[in-house]
Amino acid sequence: MTITIGLPSKGRMKDDASAIFARAGMLISAIGNERSYRGRIEGVDDVEIAFLSASEISREIGNGTVDFGVTGEDLIREELSDADRRMEISARLGFGHADVVVAVPDIWLDVESMADLGDVAADFRARHGRRLAIATKYWRLTQQHFSAQHGIQLYRIVESLGATEGAPAAGQADIIVDITSTGSTLVANHLKVLSDGVILRSEACLVRAKKPEHEGNATVARIVEAVRGVL
Amino acid sequence: MPLTDMPDFAAAILEEFAARGTTRVDTPVIQPAAPFLDMAGEDLRRRIFLTENERGASLCLRPEFTIPVCLRHIETATGTPKRYAYLGQVFRQRREGESEFYQAGIEDLGDRNAASADARVVVDALSCLTKILPGRGLAVTIGDQAVFEAVVAALGLPAGWQKRLVRAFGQTDLLEAMIARLARPQPVTGLSPAVEALLEAGDEAALVAHVEAEMERTGYLTNASRSPAEIVRRLKEKRLLAGASLDTAKLDALKEFLSINVSLRYAPGVLADFARSAGLPLEQAIAGFDARVAAFANAGASLADITWRAAFGRPLDYYTGLVFEITARGDHDVLAGGGRYDRMLTLLGAKDHIPAVGFALWLDRIEKARETSR
């Protein structure tokens, strides 16, 4: 059986992932030219590398078309329903740190926690004729955090695929759910994170698609062990 | 097996609906999605089938009938009282069962006598089920948000806390966490010294001016949804909430109330005893509750088959009073579910307040129950 590993196809994520694999004794090279989207591990025949975009890696893990992937936990949990049944985080890789957070305008002096936000959301329609609007690209994580964890049902999601931090000032939404690594973009846009508003502390992970044929497979075990060994 | 045809007992249900003085209505399968998401919240998004039209408007396959029937009522403006009945396919992704299935139900709009209207729809649902599940014992569980609201009000908590508890009604974990929190006050933190000083001085106008200046400075003012006055008003309310707590006796009373689970035959006595021993003034709520019990008896319902569970509620802001579920005795599958939703029609845009109560029958579960009965 050939084991396929999905790796980020460009940028910091690609470099950092390759570096970890190299440290773990798995030197990755592209097949053909440098820009090729297929790769191999030197000296290993039964492993294939597929270079994919980070969000594609989550989807392919969900479909089981790749066996392993390196991607952010935020993308995995956003892309996959019932994520823990379908995948396993084999290792946290220590780079690509970012928190998915609930942030509200700084000037909402009365809102420090999700409970406060629940109060505001409950009255919002009566006061403003519409539900509280949240700008985000994280539909699933937002729903889980608001609906399942904090019992807040009454809000609407406004899809935002970029510059989400600007949505409240631009009047597109009231608050946001977005990733932040240093928090400086939030501060620059006069937003603050709620005290219990961290939905997920994400980082790049080596993720394995849960497949029955992985049971007892030596290559699978060796990859996990090698990566864990250098962290 | 997917239901490709109407269940064979559909005709019997429609007959019963007609006999019970209802008007049959139908609604388009493809509906604008916004009213459903506005009413039930974003959580519904995962469970409905969404699509877009060419102009980018969000559409969905009808996930239920109540909202379309109410919207149709508002559009046609034919006045109340009205008793609508429906039977048709709905589309929802569920953990168990097919995602297209049949529902039938009644929406009873505009009857000002809540007790008798409540009793009437429960009896409507019971007689439909008795007709298509002959010989099966049925069990009704009812809940009542109005009684819970009265208990919470009688405890003497600030209005903001009352609203929080009422919002959590029906969600056990959330409610328990709030009750635990109520055992001890929590101060408000994270305010700047300048804001603290203005709050301390009680200078509301200065505080509003401060918030407004800050909004102006950060360029947030033009599109701000919440005004400076709204933020300051809630900040003051929050201070009040933060200081609020309940003494042990009242906490115990609240917990005791939520644990009530009793046959409707004894429910009025149990509720009256609770009010007396807890020392809570609940006369009005008790009168409403008792009137409904009497209405049940008048409408011919067997009180022995009905259980009142005090903690039973639905966490949606349009439900206001009665909620109920009917199962076959000894089974968990909910065959019929309903309740009073007095706030919905106004939320959907009706100009007048229209009291409303109704129920839906889950025909796929009923079909299963019919098979096991055989």
pLDDT tens digits for B296-332?
999 999 999 999 999 999 888 888 899 999 999 989 9
Return the structure tokens found at A63: 């479909």
**pLDDT at residue B244 in the model:** 80
Write the DSSP symbol of residue A216: T
pLDDT category of residue B164 using cuts at 50, 70 and 90: confident
Return the structure tokens found at B347: 């939320």
Which residue in the set A81, A147, A195 is minimally distant from B41, CB to CB?
A: A147
Nearest-Cα distance to chain B for A228, in Å, is 36
Which residue in the set A108, A120, A154 is minimally distant from B41, CB to CB?
A: A154
Spatial CB neighbours of A221, under 8 Å, sequence gap ≥ 6 = none
Mutation to test the A interface, candidates B166, B225, B240, most A Cβ within 10 Å:
B225
Q: Pick from B340, B285, B334: which is nearest to B316 by CA?
A: B340
Tell me the C-alpha distance between B232 and B221, whole Å. 15
Which residue in the set A127, A142, A169 is minimally distant from B230, CB to CB?
A: A127
A122 touches chain B (CB under 8 A): yes
A residues 25-84 lying closer than 8 A (beta carbon) to B: 81
B-side interface with A, Cβ within 8 Å?
37-38, 40-43, 45-46, 160, 163-164, 167-168, 171, 174, 188-191, 195, 211, 214-215, 218-220, 222-226, 230-232, 234-235, 237-238, 315-317, 347
Reported as a single tens digit per residue, the pLDDT across B229-274 is 999 999 998 888 887 888 888 999 999 999 999 999 999 999 999 9
Nearest-Cα distance to chain B for A115, in Å, is 9
Nearest-Cα distance to chain A for B173, in Å, is 9
Helices B283-298 and B145-154 cross at an angle (nearest 10°) of 160
Q: Is the pLDDT of residue B3 over 80?
A: no
Nearest-Cα distance to chain A for B174, in Å, is 7
Q: What domains are there in chain A, each with its CATH number?
A: 3-96+203-229 (3.40.190.10), 98-202 (3.40.190.10)
Mutation to test the B interface, candidates A130, A153, A187, most B Cβ within 10 Å:
A153
**pLDDT at residue B4 in the model:** 55
Dihedral class, residue B35 (left if φ above 0, else alpha if ψ from -120 to 50, else beta): alpha
Write the DSSP symbol of residue A209: E
Domain stops at, among B243, B268, B285:
B243
3-class secondary structure, A187: helix
Residue B130 shares a structural domain with residue B151: no
Contacts of A170 in chain B (CB under 8 A): 223
Residue B129 shares a structural domain with residue B150: no
Q: Is the pLDDT of residue B121 over 50?
A: yes
Query: CB A119 to CB B223 under 8 A?
Result: no
Mutation to test the B interface, candidates A102, A107, A145, A157, most B Cβ within 10 Å:
A107
3-class secondary structure, A46: coil
**pLDDT at residue B372 in the model:** 85
Q: Is residue B371 domain-resident?
A: yes
**pLDDT at residue A137 in the model:** 95
Q: Is the pLDDT of residue B46 over 90?
A: no
Tell me the three-class secondary structure of chain B, residue by residue: CCCCCCCCCHHHHHHHHHHCCCEECCCCCEEECHHHHHHHCHHHHHCCCEEECCCCCEEEECCCCHHHHHHHHHHHCCCCCEEEEEEEEEECCCCCCCCEEEEEEEEEECCCCHHHHHHHHHHHHHHHHHHHCCCCCEEEEEEEHHHHHHHHHHCCCCHHHHHHHHHHCCCHHHHHHHHHHHCCCCCCCCCCHHHHHHHHHCCHHHHHHHHHHHHHHHCCCCCCCCCHHHHHHHHHHHHHHHHCCCCHHHHHHHHHHHCCEEECCCHHHHHHHHHHHHCCCCHHHHHHHHHHHHHHHHCCCCHHHEEEECCCCCCCCCCCCEEEEEEECCCCCEEEEEEECCCHHHHCCCCCCCCEEEEEEEHHHHHHHHHHHC
Residue B8 shares a structural domain with residue B81: yes
Return the structure tokens found at B109: 């709009």
Query: CB B220 to CB A118 under 8 A?
Result: no
A138 touches chain B (CB under 8 A): no
Other C-beta atoms closer than 10 Å to the C-beta of A122 total: 19
What does R_g of chain B's alpha carbons equal in angstroms?
A: 24
Residue B153 shares a structural domain with residue B296: yes
Residue B284 shares a structural domain with residue B302: yes
For residue A131, the chain B residue with the least C-alpha distance is B38
Which residue in the set A122, A128, A170 is minimally distant from B223, CB to CB?
A: A170
Tell me the three-class secondary structure of A48-106, residue by residue: EEEEECHHHHHHHHHHCCCCEEEEEHHHHHHHCCCHHHHEEEEEECCCCCEEEEEEEEC
Q: In total, how many domains does chain B have?
A: 3
**pLDDT at residue B2 in the model:** 47
Q: Is residue B343 domain-resident?
A: no
Nearest-Cα distance to chain B for A156, in Å, is 6
Q: Is the pLDDT of residue B1 over 60?
A: no
Q: What angle do CA A171, A177, A178 make, to 5 degrees?
A: 105
- What does the pLDDT average to over B338-360? 95
Tell me the C-alpha distance between B222 and B225, whole Å. 9
Query: CB A107 to CB B195 under 8 A?
Result: no
Q: Are B84 and B107 in contact (CB under 8 A)?
A: yes
Q: Is residue B345 domain-resident?
A: no
Q: Is residue B313 domain-resident?
A: yes
Query: CB A151 to CB B168 under 8 A?
Result: yes
Spatial CB neighbours of B160, under 8 Å, sequence gap ≥ 6 = A119, B237, B238, B240, B241
Tell me the CB-side half-sphere exposure of residue A105, using CA atoms within 13 A.
29
Query: Which has more pLDDT, B181 or B297?
Result: B297
The maximal CA–CA distance of chain A, rounded, in angstroms, is 66
Residue B95 shares a structural domain with residue B120: yes
Q: Is residue B333 domain-resident?
A: no
Q: Are B144 and B321 in contact (CB under 8 A)?
A: yes
A126 touches chain B (CB under 8 A): no
pTM (two decimals): 0.86
**pLDDT at residue A36 in the model:** 80
Q: Is residue B342 domain-resident?
A: no
Query: CB B42 to CB A153 under 8 A?
Result: yes
Residue B107 shares a structural domain with residue B255: no
Residue B256 shares a structural domain with residue B276: yes
Return the structure tokens found at B26: 């139908």
Tell me the C-alpha distance between B320 and B302, whole Å. 24
Contacts of B225 in chain A (CB under 8 A): 128, 171, 174
Q: Is residue B238 domain-resident?
A: yes
CA distances from A150 to B168, B183, B190, B301 (A): 10, 19, 21, 38
Residue B200 shares a structural domain with residue B161: no
Q: Is the pLDDT of residue B189 over 90?
A: no
The continuous run of DSSP H or E covering A132 comes out as strand A132-136
Tell me the C-alpha distance between B86 and A1, whole Å. 56
Q: What is the domain-level CATH number for residue B258?
A: 3.30.930.10
CA distances from B88 to A123, B13, B40, B362, B364 (A): 35, 12, 21, 11, 12
Tell me the C-alpha distance between A80 and A82, whole Å. 6
- Lowest-pLDDT range, A189-203, B100-114, B217-231? B217-231
B314 backbone dihedrals φ, ψ, rounded to 5°: -120, 135
Nearest-Cα distance to chain B for A170, in Å, is 6
Q: What is the domain range of residue B115?
A: 1-136+351-374
Nearest-Cα distance to chain A for B331, in Å, is 27
A residues 153-192 lying closer than 8 A (beta carbon) to B: 153-157, 168-171, 174, 190
Residue B251 shares a structural domain with residue B235: no
Predicted confidence pLDDT, tens digits, chain A (231 residues)? 899 999 999 889 999 999 999 999 999 988 888 778 899 998 888 999 999 998 899 999 999 999 999 999 999 999 998 899 999 999 999 999 999 999 999 999 999 999 899 999 988 988 898 899 999 999 999 999 998 888 888 899 998 988 999 999 999 999 999 999 888 999 999 999 999 999 999 999 999 999 999 999 999 999 999 999 998
Query: CB A107 to CB B171 under 8 A?
Result: no
For residue A143, the chain B residue with the least C-alpha distance is B43
- What does the pLDDT average to over B344-355? 94
**pLDDT at residue B160 in the model:** 84
Residue B4 shares a structural domain with residue B53: yes
A107 touches chain B (CB under 8 A): yes
Amino acid at B350: A
Residue B116 shares a structural domain with residue B143: no
Supply the ipTM of this predicted assembly: 0.86
Which residue in the set A107, A119, A171 is minimally distant from B214, CB to CB?
A: A107
Query: CB B315 to CB A153 under 8 A?
Result: yes
- Lowest-pLDDT range, A115-124, A172-181, B146-155, B173-182? B173-182
